[in-house]
Amino acid sequence: MFTKDDFLAYFDQIQNLEIRMYETYRDIHEQISHPKYKKRFAQLMHDESDHTDMIKKLRSYFEK
């Protein structure tokens, strides 16, 4: 059985991964100039930001 602390630790791991992926996509976005690829990496950054928000919301259910 998972404990509250297990879930919180799991969400921390996921959130860290989402943040690292956002940073990776941001770095690539800053280095490329092709409009199509810039747009795609901007979308990936947005997606990762949304994922981070979802993780924060899920985590809040276990912080009560």
Q: Domain locations in the chain? A: 4-62
Question: How far is the CA of 14 from the CAs of 22, 42, 51, in angstroms?
Answer: 12, 21, 9
pLDDT tens for each residue of the chain, 64 residues long? 889 999 999 999 999 999 999 999 999 999 999 999 999 999 999 999 999 999 999 999 988 7
Paired tokens of 6: 């297990």
Instruction: Give the model confidence (pLDDT) of 3-16 as tens digits.
Output: 999 999 999 999 99
d(CA 34, CA 52): 27
**pLDDT recorded at residue 63:** 84
Q: b/e string for 12-21 if b means 16 or more Cβ within 10 A?
A: eebbeebeeb
